[in-house]
Homo-oligomer: A and B are copies of this chain.
Amino acid sequence: MKLSIKKEILTESLNQVSKAISTKNIIPVLSGIKFNLTMEGLFLTCSDDDITIEVFIDKKDINEIEEVGSIVIPGKYFIDIVRKIPSDIIKLETDGLRIVLYTNNAEYNLNGINANEFPNRDLDTIKTPIYINKKIFKNIINQTAFAASLQESRPILTGINFNIKENILECIATDSYRLSKKTITLNEVIEHEVNIVIPSKNLIELTKIIDDEDENIEMHIFSNTILFKFNNILFQSRLLNGTYPDTSKLISEECLLQITSNLNELYNVIDRASLLTSEKEKNIVKMETTNNELIISSVSQEIGKIEERMKVEKSNETEVKIAFSSKYMMDALRALKSENVILLLNGEIKPIIIKTPNNENLIQLVLPIKTF
């Protein structure tokens, strides 16, 4: 393999593909980047068993292709070197199982691995992928992924459930203490119902390499994997096995009391009340209505207590006391984009539904904590 390429182009592609470099270092070849130079262009591939990313650099973006070939290069070191090299053009050449990167004054020799040792992932596409606008797709992940579980005790909850019926995509994440649900209308009707669970951490990595162009991303769904295709990038993730819990009954249509308040103000009040709370004690903050005021409070036997009042709008004269995790409530509020927020309350042991006015597409739910 022998080529010369603009540093800028190589760096951008390395940043994208490197999201799949294994950091576990158990299998050395997986901490590398596979370079495969053909007359059509350069394919870069990384894979960590959980996700595989392939980035293609077209021949028109390569200064010179002198000799095709392939090799696996130690990922982290190569990326660090390319990033710190001062020259605009980078020349790369293999010498047996070594890769030599050279500039006018310097020579960088890295020990490579035979490309045949790199696992062969099937990155096939299908004829009828599902199309979603890139920005909408990123929003889905940003507004739901935080609610997925980080505990491996129930693996299925570490994913985001993608459910498509006809032209309605419903995305749900829950760790069984809170839930986020986003509903999107697709541009076309899907023939077969889709019900899959994608690891949320893989989706978060994916959002990091999706740009903000007003274009679509393609979803190619297989029985055990999903392949996302956009620009010159293929991103494959495994799917989680198992049945995602039915959460539809949690989100009640009825409600005892509806509270409308300024979103930022409510967030800041809860943020301050949370200063005396601790993760160990579930970050408990209490909320109580009296007339047209909300009283937010927290107590720590050791440190002290906080009490703040704020004006809100109530749908009726019912008064409600409820306690919840300030962390979960703040996560939910951060995912909303609006001036005002609506809290739907059904009593102190019923889920709190959080949404914004005139928008049924995004629903956040936080379970209360019994303290009263």
CB-contacts of A288-309 with B (<8 A): 302-309
Q: Does A191 contact B (CB under 8 A)?
A: no
Determine if A80 and B275 form an interchain contact, defined as CB atoms under 8 angstroms apart: yes
Q: Other CB < 8 Å A-B pairs besides A77-B303, A81-B275, A111-B303, 13 of them? A: A77-B276, A77-B304, A81-B306, A84-B268, A84-B271, A84-B275, A105-B310, A106-B306, A106-B309, A107-B307, A108-B305, A108-B306, A109-B306
Contact of A110 among B84, B85, B86, B303 (CB under 8 A): B303
* Chain A 73-85 per-residue mask, 1 if CB under 8 angstroms from chain B, else 0: 0100100110011
Q: Does A272 contact B (CB under 8 A)?
A: yes
Determine if A74 and B309 form an interchain contact, defined as CB atoms under 8 angstroms apart: no
CA distance A302 to B74 in the complex (A): 10
Q: Does A238 contact B (CB under 8 A)?
A: no
CA distance A105 to B295 in the complex (A): 10
A interface residues, how many (CB within 8 angstroms)? 29
A16 to chain B, nearest CB (A): 21
CB-contacts of A157-171 with B (<8 A): none
Question: Chain B residues with Cβ under 8 A from A350's Cβ?
Answer: none
A223 to chain B, nearest CB (A): 39
Q: Assuming A84-B272, A275-B81, is B105 touching A303 (CB within 8 A)?
A: no
Question: Chain B residues with Cβ under 8 A from A77's Cβ?
Answer: 275-276, 303-304
Q: Does A201 contact B (CB under 8 A)?
A: no
Q: Does A321 contact B (CB under 8 A)?
A: no
Nearest-CB residue, chain B, relative to A306:
B108
Question: Chain B residues with Cβ under 8 A from A7's Cβ?
Answer: none
CA distance A106 to B270 in the complex (A): 12
Q: Does A91 contact B (CB under 8 A)?
A: no
Determine if B74 and A303 form an interchain contact, defined as CB atoms under 8 angstroms apart: yes
Determine if B307 and A106 form an interchain contact, defined as CB atoms under 8 angstroms apart: yes
Determine if B98 and A304 form an interchain contact, defined as CB atoms under 8 angstroms apart: yes
Nearest-CB residue, chain B, relative to A301:
B111
CB-contacts of A67-102 with B (<8 A): 74, 77, 80-81, 84-86, 98
A347 to chain B, nearest CB (A): 26
Determine if A107 and B272 form an interchain contact, defined as CB atoms under 8 angstroms apart: no
Determine if A105 and B276 form an interchain contact, defined as CB atoms under 8 angstroms apart: no
Can you list 5 pairs linking A and B with CB atoms under 8 Å apart?
A74-B303, A77-B276, A105-B308, A108-B305, A109-B305
Question: Chain B residues with Cβ under 8 A from A268's Cβ?
Answer: 84, 86
Determine if B272 and A106 form an interchain contact, defined as CB atoms under 8 angstroms apart: yes
* Chain A 255-273 per-residue mask, 1 if CB under 8 angstroms from chain B, else 0: 0000000000000100110
* Chain A 275-291 per-residue mask, 1 if CB under 8 angstroms from chain B, else 0: 11000000000000000
7 nearest A-B pairs in the assembled complex, by CB-CB distance: A110-B304, A106-B308, A109-B304, A105-B309, A109-B305, A80-B275, A84-B272
Question: Chain B residues with Cβ under 8 A from A109's Cβ?
Answer: 304-306
CA distance A310 to B107 in the complex (A): 12
